[in-house]
Structure 1
Amino acid sequence: MADTRPLVAIVDDDVSIREALEPLLELSGWRVRSFEYATAFLDWTAPEGPGCLLLDVSLPDLNGLDLQARIADERPEMPIIFLTGYGDVPMTVRAMKAGAVEFLTKPFDDEVLLAAVERAIERSEQLTAQRSGHRALQARYALLSRREREVMHLIVAGLLNKQVGGELGISEITVKAHRGRLMDKMEAASFADLVKMSEKLGLETTGRR
């Protein structure tokens, strides 16, 4: 049976840190995966589901802040908690502006670390749910026929059924039929729902009335 517990990844070249964190995190109910090098983490394919990253700033192969920048687009649902033996204000500001959840200076209190991980996991769960919802929305949109997509684009832009028919060269009755089918496929309970879905999909939602 697959392990569905949230995952905490650790990237730190200090073996004593990894050995101290692994049992602490596992006893708290999370899965743990440790890496000595940033490149090893980059080569790893993280499993689906919520998780976070405990990341040392000073690594032998790639600076932790640079690693943060590298994975920002690839793994946005994996919040980062920075660990460092030293820190300065500019470094902390850069990390937090780039989306880090916390910046902890070694040695850190276990309870402080666990609280930070808890916040990161909660954030990851929210991001994972949003991403899953967006994928489901894209899948529903993919079910629409070309004509249904054309009708959808026009009605969310504010055109009435009669105007949509004029734009596409079809009757108002046909527009209503397409509209009904696309509403069902998109699982939209109302026109307002459809507009919100269109916005999430990045479709044009402003236009003539």
Structure 2
Amino acid sequence: MPLIIHSHNISARSSSLRRECESRARVLVVDDDEDRWASLRRDVQVLDALLDVSPAFPDQLAFKRPETPICLVLALSHGRYGLKFLRQLNAAENPIPIIFVAESADVATSVEAMKGGAFDFFCQPYQDLDLLEAIDTALDRDRLWCKTQQHFNNLTRQYETLSTRERQVMEQIVKGKMNKQVAFTLGISEITVKAHRGRVMRKLNVTSLPELTRIADTIARRTTNIDDGSAGPTMKFAGQVAR
């Protein structure tokens, strides 16, 4: 029986996030019975999302996830491979929200799935609206992930435009050293330090030292290798190492 829902009730919470993500979200359902999901396919359009049903697991997601919001709905008619797939995603550090749907109550499997990081677990009988709301919330979370990842990718691209010397100067600056101290450490003039410092600020689009320090901390926390290693000396931020 088709759902009768009011779009403003479900999507008001995520409308602002949705506007920030130009590409439409995707809901991937792994199940042999495509007809079973015909109603849900129509309903997810309220969430400005597309739904695809396939009997095959999207194994490629264990290697590379899309940069656009995504949510997986796994029917447990596939046995325990769904849990194995969840572990593969965790091992690959690809955070994709997964919702399990079981034909009957399976406490042991549901506990294992939730401990493994599943977003939610539904057993028959369940309300279609509850599943739709869970999908909406999962897509919200993934939109935040996409936004954060995009921000980090932008920072990385900006950082990669810095020359070796600019990176050296940046490393000293975020340690709190003054221009004169940086000049002494690197064996260059204070005027040269000021010139490099200005270029660093412009390339990273920051206007203050606290902003620059936050960028350094973000890069350090998210990765240990900023580029291909050709940038020269090792740079350390907040206990992390980045080349």
Q: Which moved further from structure 2: 9-18 or 86-95?
A: 86-95
Query: What root-mean-square deviation, in Å, do the aligned CA atoms of Structure 1 and Structure 2 show?
Result: 2.4
Shift of 1:15: 4.1
- 1:42 paired residue number: 59
Distance 2:68 2:214 in 1: 25
* Deviation for aligned residue 1:22: 2.7
Counterparts of 2:108 and 2:172 in 1: how far apart (Å)? Answer: 48
Asked whether the 8 Å contact 2:40–2:132 carries over to 1, the reply is no
1:107 paired to 2:125: yes
User: 1:115 Cα shift?
Assistant: 0.7
Equivalents in 1 of 2:181, 2:238: separation in Å? 16
Q: For each residue in 1:122-181, what CA deviation from the matched residue of structure 2 results, as whole angstroms up to 9, or x when unmatched?
A: 101100000000000000000101100011111112222112111110011211111111
- CA distance in 1 between partners of 2:215 and 2:101 (Å): 39
Distance change >3 Å, CA 194–CA 31, structure 1 → 2:
same
Per the TM alignment, residue 18 of structure 1 is displaced from its structure 2 partner at its CA by 3.6
| Residue 82 (structure 2) aligned to one of 59, 64, 73 | 64
Could you tell me whether the CA contact under 8 Å between 2:174 and 2:212 is conserved in 1?
A: yes
Contact 1:52 1:80 in 2 (8 A): yes
1:32: Cα distance to partner? 1.0
Q: C-alpha deviations, 1:2-35, integer Å up to 9, x for none? A: x932111111234453445333334654201111
2:237 is paired with a residue whose SS is coil
- Report what 2:192 is aligned to: 174
Q: How does 1:150-165 map to 2 (within 5 A)?
A: 150-165=168-183
Q: Secondary structure at the match of 1:195?
A: helix
Contact 1:140–1:186, Cα closer than 8 Å, also in 2: yes
Q: Which 4+ residue blocks in structure 1 deviate beyond 4 angstroms?
A: 43-47, 87-90
Q: Structure 2: how far apart are the matches of 1:57 and 1:170?
A: 65
**Alignment partner, residue 117 of structure 1:** 135
In structure 2, distance between residues paired with 1:179 and 1:90: 58
Match of residue 12 from structure 2: none
Count of paired positions: 200
